[in-house]
Structure 1
Amino acid sequence: MKEYVFYKLFGKYYIDYSIASATGLCNIYDMKWNKQSLDVVGINEERLSSLVPATYIVKNLKSEYAYYMNIDSKTPFVIGASDGCLSNLGVNAIKPGNAAVTIGTSGTIRIMSDKPKCDEKERVFSYVLTENHYVVGGAVNNGGVALRWFIDNFASGKVEMAKKLSIDIYDYVIEKASEVPAGSLELLFLPYILGERAPYWNANAKGAFFGININHKREHFIRAVLEGIIFWVYNVGKALEETTGKINTIYATGGFARSDLWVQILADVFDKKVLIADSHESSSFGAYILALYLLGIINKMDDALKMVSLTKEYKPSDTNHKVYEDMFKVFQCLYESIKQYF
């Protein structure tokens, strides 16, 4: 998508290293198109865009677009990077041990590294931000979309109630779920309603509720959905720790970061401190920081530390973590036990 936009604006096809490193066609160690991969898919290098670093600056905007946008045609355009790489930069998760967790429609957990990290079990991957900054992590298909699915199909009657109270439907149902104790009375949700990516990469994975008993009400199911999504991100996080080292602090971003309950569940499951940045749009802010650095307005990207305003801190509950630790063991076993039937 970005390649096409740049082609329209400048008449040339470019692709930045971070996007290219996600294609499976690029060698992230020499940043060249990989001939073996190209042979597998049956194309040659001439069919692909020119590889450039995320720090690449393009000028000479086509006159019609310069006129339309009312800017000088010599205005520098920084090609930038992928949303995932920039998200880490935008929330200050750029030091070892600092992870960025984003949950919107889908979800991710990523850590910055000074070199690529190879997971021999093929659970997580390395993106390239710059020659000295690599983002290692994994993405999950089922983030907020799983909550949306449940609300649309099993809590639609609450929409009118939320409207009468002038409350957002998500705030309303999550507030009800906050009245339920951690663990949702041993109700577990496997959130694979759209198949799943990291760490198992199984497009055939299916969702499930497990442990239902007569005491469970709608609010227990809603909390179980929130917990199940975090459990799966935690599963990726454990694979990430095996690959890159221990996670010490988590920076939360995305739509879920507006929910105190959901972020507290994240802190309790991981047993880590969670920090919230002032801006939930971390990828956009990361792009802004990258541009400032390249234009010489800041001296180094680490100066972003001074620019990111942290507004809230969540500390894990030992009691809740113990509940989640026991439930997570069951959660992992469930996937392994039923995957043969997907």
Structure 2
Amino acid sequence: MDYLIGVDLGTTSTKVVLFDTKGHVIASANKGYKLYRDAPDMAEEDLDEIWEAFTDAMAQVTRAAKDGKILGVSFSSAMHSLIAFDADWQPLTRVITWADARAVKYTEELKSNGIGQEIYSKTGTPIHPMAPLSKLLWLKNEHTDIYNNAVHYLGIKEFLFNRLFGANKMDYSIASGTGLFNIFNLDWDEQALSVTGITKEQLPEPVDPYTIETGMDPQYAAEMGLDVDTPFIYGAGDGPLSNLGVNAIQPGVAAVTIGTSGAIRVVTDAPKIDPKGRTFTYALDKDHWVVGGPVNNGGDVFRWARDNMFDSEKSTAELLGIDSYDLLTEIASKIPAGADGLLFHPYLGGERAPIWDANARGSFFGLTHNHTRAHMVRAVLEGIIFNIYMVSLALEEVVGDLSAIQATGGFARSPLWRQMAADIFEQPVTVPTAFESGALAATVMAQKALGLIDNLEVIGDMIGEANTYQPNPENYDAYRELTPIFIRLSRQLQTEYKAIADYQRTHIEK
């Protein structure tokens, strides 16, 4: 039997999935690693931990392919990461992830002087601390020793390819999320480079996502159970591949993803720039562009609520051998839609779309004596969806009306969360049964790169049957009344976000 491997490089884990050529899952392995938050606004990963997770997961999965040939390995990767290396390719930093907000000061300066909007209009990456553009300004101003000694800059996926093949390349999809890449001429943007003070020579060569590498280091090939000539395909960013993975590549079909973070995205045939700078435009490939908005706060906020408000329930779930998140959603389901007027703004890690404010902070609004922890967890779940819906309103201004919603990510496993999304959006929400959407989409790109298929649309035959959740009209009144309050409040609180964030940065021990 012939196989393909899809690698999903995430923020807190790497998942490796073995598929047959029809998209059926044969085996999978998921290895986690720590997200280091040693200081305010820091969010870093350790290179050695990522490497170990990747190679261990690969070795575990390849053992399930003894009876066949692995045709190729392709990647879905978290975007916006930055790693500095010296002339000998020794790392000078850990992986500075998308969630790292230490560049907020330099981001605000870019926004205020008008240069940021000019760069956004060419790169499609909103001006925000998530982007390597801002991270480079932070290194330049606050870590001059690293900045002055850095000869190369890579992201998480490029680090793996460099170690495996000695390559120094970055696919258009990942490059389009750096804030340094001109999405109209498919090359590094001269103005962005000038602002950061780096040169093209310090960045990888931009390449097509279907580019193939062979001739792996024999030691690493042996460790992973692969032939040295196994084709490795670059693949694309996790956001664009999430659309492909749920077959949301037709005009107007939105993919809503909530994992650790979240996003809502629509595929177009050309880059589309928002005059207000609220949405991104990233490449899937040269013919498919993904327009949307990402949010910092998704499943990680649910985890925060579990760990800090439901510790006893978490322990009980562990003793009973049941999923603690399932227990919490069961608790939340007993509370009516709208949580009896309790709203939660989920900005625990700052926020990207639609407000693009790294100083944003979370809050409960409307608390009364009548509210319980059950109301609070319901409000947390609803707040995450309210925020995604707010992003969708900005997205529709750029791409037009949304005609359908395809859901993916960890939240898609929760019936309650799916129903909330259908009710708040007032649209059916469809969830394909193939949960490994990112890894599956990566293998479809591999098949195209290897000449096994002609177009990406074949994924429609691979994702399996879909479950569709219809909106419940009984919940419309509550959500229609609360949504405008949620939106107005987020705008009003923005006037104080910087003040409270500055207070926290000053008083929280670093």
- TM bucket (normalised to shorter chain) is over 0.9
- Is the 1:60–1:73 contact (alpha carbons within 8 Å) kept by the matching residues of 2? yes
Which amino acid letter does the alignment assign opposite residue 305 of structure 1? G
Query: Which among 441, 444, 461 is matched to residue 286 of structure 1?
Result: 441
Residues in 1 aligned to 2:284 and 2:448: alpha-carbon distance in whole angstroms: 13
- Could you say which residue in structure 1 is the equivalent of 2:474? 319
Per-residue Cα deviation, 1:202-236 (whole angstroms, up to 9, x for no partner):
11111111111222111111110000000001111
Q: 1:106-144 CA deviation, whole Å, 9 max, x = no partner? A: 111111111111101111110011111001111111111
Partner of residue 134 from structure 1, selected from 267, 282, 289: 289
Q: Is the 8 A contact 2:335 2:374 kept in 1?
A: yes
Match of 2:220 in 1: 65
Q: Using the alignment, how far apart are the partners of 1:302 and 1:74 within structure 2?
A: 28
Partner in structure 1 of residue 206 of structure 2: 51
Deviations 1:28-53 (Å, cap 9, x if unpaired)? Answer: 01101111110000011011100001
**Which shows bigger deviation, 58-67 or 314-323?**
58-67
RMSD, matched Cα: 1.4
In the TM superposition, 1:97-136 aligns within 5 A as 97-136=252-291
Instruction: Deviation per CA, 1:48-83: give whole Å up to 9, x if none.
Output: 100001111122223333344443333221111111
In the alignment, is residue 14 of structure 1 matched against residue 184 of structure 2?
no
- Residue in 2 that maps onto 1:337: 492
CA distance in 2: counterparts of 1:316 and 1:17, whole angstroms? 37
Residue in 2 aligned with 1:147? 302
| 1:86 matched to 2:234 | no
Distance in structure 1 (CA, Å) of the matches to 2:214 and 2:308 = 50
Cα distance in structure 2, aligned partners of 1:154 and 1:194: 18
* 2-structure distance, mates of 1:310, 1:341: 47
- TM-score when normalising by structure 2: 0.65
- Three-state SS of the structure 1 residue aligned to 2:301 is helix
- The aligned residue for residue 299 of structure 1 is 454
The TM-score with structure 1 as length reference comes to: 0.96
SS at match of 1:299: coil
1:266 is matched with which residue?
421
| 2:28 match | none
1:232 aligns with 2:387: yes
2 CA distance for matches of 1:164 and 1:21?
Answer: 46
Moved more, 262-271 or 308-317: 308-317
State the SS of the aligned residue for 1:99: strand
Higher relative contact order (CA 8 A, sep 6+): 1
Between stretches 127-136 and 65-74, larger displacement belongs to 65-74
8 Å Cα contact 1:116/1:126 also seen in 2: yes
| Long gaps (5+) in structure 2 | 1-155, 498-510
Instruction: Note if contact 1:248-1:273 (Cα within 8 Å) is conserved in structure 2.
Output: no
- Paired amino acid for 2:210: T
The residue aligned with 1:172 is: 327
Tell me if the contact between 2:307 and 2:314 (Cα under 8 Å) persists in the aligned partners: no
3-state SS in 2 of match to 1:246: coil
Percentage identity across aligned positions?
48
**Structure 1 regions of 5+ residues with no counterpart?**
none
2:362 maps to which of 207, 221, 234:
207
